[in-house]
Amino acid sequence: MVTIALETLASCSGCEISILDLHEDLLKLLEKAELVYAPVLMDVKELPDNIDIAIVSGSVRNEENKERLEELRTKSSILIAYGTCACYGGITGMADLYTRDEVTSRTYSDNPSTESAPLPNEVVPELLSIVHPAADFTEIDGFIPGCPPKEQLTGDILIPLINNEAPDVPKKSVCADCQREMEHVEYDKIHRRVEGSPEDGKCFLSQGYVCLGSVTLGRCGGLCTDAGVPCHGCGGPSLDVLREPSHDIYNGVIKRIAHLSNMPEKDVEKQMYDLGHVIYGFVIGSTIMEDKLVSKIPQLVKK
Amino acid sequence: MEYLSRKQKMKKISRGFKMVEIEIDEDACVGCGSCVDDCPNNVYQMNEETWKTTVVNADDCMACLSCHEICPSQAMTHRDIHVAKRLYIDRKVNDVLEKII
Ligand code: SF4
Ligand code: SF4
Ligand code: SF4
Ligand code: SF4
């Protein structure tokens, strides 16, 4: 039996739930594997030794997350960063738009909807100064981005993995699966998502809405664009964006909008808004994305 | 003396090495025509019926990979090209890239 552990760091638990979402496939998984540690499912507090595959989700936000991750590394043969937070900082990385003190005072002392309280100085682990993806602190053997990774993908990866086979899953961008048609349409105004109502069947970029599908690793089947909402990049950067030093989410989207609308890139840039959420919402914590010379992340984060 | 533009020279050089094979994933292509607009050597043309790109001129490809840069859905694969010159020589990035499952 392959032993599997699921650990949650600074996470919303969505990643663990996505593994439960395997439904009947979970039984297939459990034919060959045994869940030895999964706080989301069982009453366990301490990590066992000799874990074959440890699946860690969430970012490293406090001292306890860091300690847990290090312990997990020493006790497991394969350590997988599961989900966009573990891989790139994910949405938890948006906390880096504020200083640590701003975050704690908003939580404890200066929150309009709760009674003000002093900062705890025991039991609650201390926050690190910024949010880190798991790979910042330890060697990771595999990354599975997604917020959360969708159950089909998870099944297609985990089932071969426990059978000691290499998973064969696509690695294209969201556009590859999106059913909308991308056309060249001249326009000169970028709309915010709340404005107007986008037409069905037609690419959001062709209608002046910011959609991150072309710069995002897909494998979700174009879930959001199918439901009428532009892709906000939860799958993390596409492999092209990661690979090329001069490629970034920001300049990739600008370039495509300019190309489709015939607007000069400078004009598109002027209309771009709220980059911390709209463009970099899922990758602010990633040093790889921040280290690119073209990245705007350094201008956004407060350290 | 025969005058060759920079583009033609590049072509000549790259041809000297190897012919390029280009594959299109039709399911992935969203029909934007960006590759047709961007390819400096007119390798692509849109299929008027399916409104997907088609390779009409693979011999002229100089493996600049401009089409990869612009294509929103990574619909094309070039075989037999020398990719090392395109790779981000940053160990951290390459390490992550290799490990994405
Ligand atoms: S940019 Fe967005 S809407 Fe357009 S094809 Fe790509 S995923 Fe679909
Ligand atoms: S369409 Fe984009 S935001 Fe929506 S699930 Fe897919 S990757 Fe995530
Ligand atoms: S790599 Fe692409 S853009 Fe460049 S010449 Fe070949 S087909 Fe055209
Ligand atoms: S750029 Fe890509 S998606 Fe657009 S037509 Fe060419 S192959 Fe199709």
**Domains by residue range for chain B, with CATH:** 17-100 (3.30.70.20)
Q: For residue A256, which atom of ligand 1 is closest to its CA?
A: 1
If asked whether residues A154 and A204 sit together in one domain, one would say no
Kindly report the pTM of this predicted structure: 0.89
Confirm whether A72 is domain-assigned: yes
Nearest-CA neighbor of A267 among A183, A182, A189? A189
Domain boundary among A162, A187, A219: A162
Confirm whether A169 is domain-assigned: no
If asked whether residues A188 and A125 sit together in one domain, one would say no
If asked whether residues A157 and A183 sit together in one domain, one would say no
CA distances from A7 to A3, A56, A199 (A): 13, 5, 41
- Least CB-CB distance to A143: which of B25, B34, B99? B99
Confirm whether A227 is domain-assigned: yes
pLDDT at B87: 53
Specify the length of chain A in residues.
Answer: 303
CA distance A226 to A174: 11
What are the residues of chain A with a beta carbon less than 8 Å away from any beta carbon of chain B?
80, 135, 140-145, 157, 167, 169, 171-173, 175-178, 180-184, 203, 213-214, 217, 238-240, 242-245, 247, 255-256, 259-260, 287-288
Ligand 3 contact via B76 beta carbon (within 6 Å): no
Confirm whether A194 is domain-assigned: yes
If asked whether residues A85 and A182 sit together in one domain, one would say no
- What spacing in Å lies between the alpha carbon of B77 and ligand 1's midpoint? 20
If asked whether residues A39 and A105 sit together in one domain, one would say yes
Q: Residues in chain A with pLDDT < 70?
A: none
Domain boundary among A116, A138, A162: A162
Domain coverage including residue A43? 2-162
Q: Starting from the CA of residue B67, give the closest ligand.
A: 3
Contacts of residue A140 in chain B, CB cutoff 8 Å? Answer: 99
pLDDT at A78: 96
Specify the length of chain B in residues.
Answer: 101
Contacts of residue B34 in chain A, CB cutoff 8 Å? Answer: 256, 259
CA distance A75 to A190: 50
Query: What are the beta bridge partners of residue A127?
Result: A62
Query: What are the beta bridge partners of residue A54?
Result: A5, A79
- What spacing in Å lies between the alpha carbon of B20 and ligand 3's midpoint? 10
Retrieve residue A192's tokens. 């915010």
In this predicted model, what pLDDT tens digit does every residue of A162-212 receive, in sequence order? 999 999 999 999 999 999 999 999 999 999 999 999 999 999 999 999 999
Q: Chain A contact for B30, CB < 8 A? A: yes
If asked whether residues A7 and A126 sit together in one domain, one would say yes
In this predicted model, what pLDDT tens digit does every residue of B15-73 receive, in sequence order? 445 567 899 999 999 999 999 988 989 999 999 999 999 999 898 998 888 898 889 99
Ligand 2 contact via A231 beta carbon (within 6 Å): yes
pLDDT at B1: 44
Contacts of residue B93 in chain A, CB cutoff 8 Å? Answer: 242-243, 288
A51-57 and A76-82 as β-strands: parallel, antiparallel, unpaired?
Answer: parallel
Contact A64, A45 (CB under 8 A): no
If asked whether residues A153 and A247 sit together in one domain, one would say no
Ligand 2 contact via A235 beta carbon (within 6 Å): yes
If asked whether residues A231 and A155 sit together in one domain, one would say no
If asked whether residues A107 and A208 sit together in one domain, one would say no
If asked whether residues A212 and A124 sit together in one domain, one would say no
Q: Starting from the CA of residue B35, give the closest ligand.
A: 4
Q: What's the CATH number where A76 sits? A: 3.40.50.700
Mutate which of A165, A168, A173 to test chain B, going by most B C-beta atoms within 10 A?
A173
**Phi, psi of A283, rounded to the nearest 5 degrees:** -130, 10
pLDDT at A92: 96
Q: For residue A204, which atom of ligand 1 is closest to its CA?
A: 3
DSSP A98: S
Ligand 2 contact via A222 beta carbon (within 6 Å): yes
Domain boundary among A131, A162, A193: A162
Nearest-CA neighbor of A60 among A37, A18, A89? A89
If asked whether residues A92 and A218 sit together in one domain, one would say no
pLDDT at A148: 97
Confirm whether A167 is domain-assigned: no
If asked whether residues A45 and A187 sit together in one domain, one would say no
Per-residue b or e along B18-38, where b marks 16 or more CB atoms closer than 10 Å to that residue's CB: eebebebeeebbbbbbbbbeb
Please answer yes or no on whether B73 and A242 come within 8 Å at the CB atom: no
Please answer yes or no on whether B87 and A243 come within 8 Å at the CB atom: yes
Confirm whether A240 is domain-assigned: yes
Mutate which of A172, A204, A254, A283 to test chain B, going by most B C-beta atoms within 10 A?
A172
pLDDT at B69: 85
Please answer yes or no on whether B72 and A256 come within 8 Å at the CB atom: yes
Number of domain units in chain A: 2
Confirm whether A58 is domain-assigned: yes
Please answer yes or no on whether B73 and A141 come within 8 Å at the CB atom: no
Confirm whether A105 is domain-assigned: yes
ipTM of the complex: 0.76
